[in-house]
A = this chain, B = another copy of it.
């Protein structure tokens, strides 16, 4: 079944007639259309691109003329965002949406995405809007066959980046330059520009700190490196993390910390399966880390797909169950200001009976 069909089924369940999707991730999920995101909202748009999905499976996309629609099985109206003249993008956008809802015969009630639905469209759409963020998030968590294939490519691109990062992380190199070379390697492997999330952070204090920004910095012998690479390829995100020592052997303290994270990831791989409750899985991992004398202050991981972080989030109070074809990042770590930071993260696909590593790469601190 196509994702349009899956959304149509969701509409039947929820009682709405239409889904109006305005998130770049949801549009990609629904239609396979990749909204460019790397410079934020396009200066040539009148508002976010919109996908309309009807209960009967008919679908449409409104996007600016600077984007080419990809994907199949939907109607498309593009409006003048870029023009060699003064133009009112908001008016053009609204006209295109009006034309699309006439074309699709849009009537009845509609579900909308609260995080992205623009005020400027509200008066054009009849009916009472209901937020469908959570039901869309749950639906998106389980990937179609086509999405599984895309996720595999994205994970492979991340794995290629990891190999390159390990190779280039040499004393005397510059943190920001290595990051740039690693990103470029992933773009060459992907055959396209990639949006990038994640981090490549070197040095004891900085690698122990969550949320540091990549910066110009000379890598010294023995520096811990934490390398969390998340490229977006064909609209779907890869993710991955490992940690290691640049040009030197790890200290006993670093090695012990690393082993704890790695062992906990191995435990995750042996435990993850359909029907398991997320909070129980999360507790298993945290308990194991604690038994080894470590802890991490963040989630145990997260779902991934057309958004880099999506449902289910692996946190202590998430009661959802894992299902087959969820793609789950698991990322236990540990951070000590005097030793450095470590984090071990593979992308796991939930199979019928357990899970598999989607694109393995070398993960060791040696």
Contacts and interface: CB of A to CB of B under 8 A. Distances in A.
B43 A24 contact: no
A33 interface: no
Interface string A16-44: 00000001110000000001011111011
Nearest to A178: B184
Contacts of A45: 115
Nearest to A133: B90
Interface in A166-189: 174, 176-177, 179-181, 183-185, 187-188
A90 B118 contact: no
A191 interface: yes
A117 B48 CA distance: 11
Contact of A176 (B43, B187, B213): B187
Given A180-B181, A184-B181, A193-B213, A115 B41 contact: yes
A215 interface: yes
A114 interface: yes
Given A86-B318, A315-B84, A39 B197 contact: yes
Given A117-B118, A122-B119, A307-B43, A180 B176 contact: no
Contact of A115 (B89, B122, B187, B215): B89
B195 A214 contact: no
Contacts of A313: 86
Nearest to A175: B188
A38 B191 contact: no
A256 interface: no
A95 interface: no
A256 to B, nearest CB: 24
Contacts of A46: 114-115
A84 B193 CA distance: 32
A84 to B, nearest CB: 6
A236 to B, nearest CB: 13
A231 to B, nearest CB: 11
A90 B131 contact: yes
Interface centre among A133, A188, A196 (most CB of B within 10 A): A188
Interface string A305-332: 0011110010111100000000000000
Interface in A110-142: 112, 114-122, 129, 131, 133
Nearest to A296: B84
Contacts of A309: 43-44
A184 B192 contact: no
- Closest 10 pairs (CB-CB, A-B): A180-B184, A37-B40, A43-B309, A90-B114, A119-B119, A117-B119, A43-B307, A114-B120, A39-B197, A86-B317
19 contacts: A37-B40, A41-B116, A43-B309, A43-B310, A45-B115, A46-B114, A46-B115, A47-B116, A66-B211, A84-B298, A84-B299, A84-B316, A90-B114, A112-B119, A115-B118, A176-B187, A191-B215, A192-B215, A193-B214
Given A43-B310, A86-B317, 14 more contacts: A38-B195, A43-B308, A44-B309, A47-B114, A86-B313, A86-B315, A116-B118, A119-B119, A176-B193, A177-B184, A179-B193, A180-B185, A192-B213, A193-B214
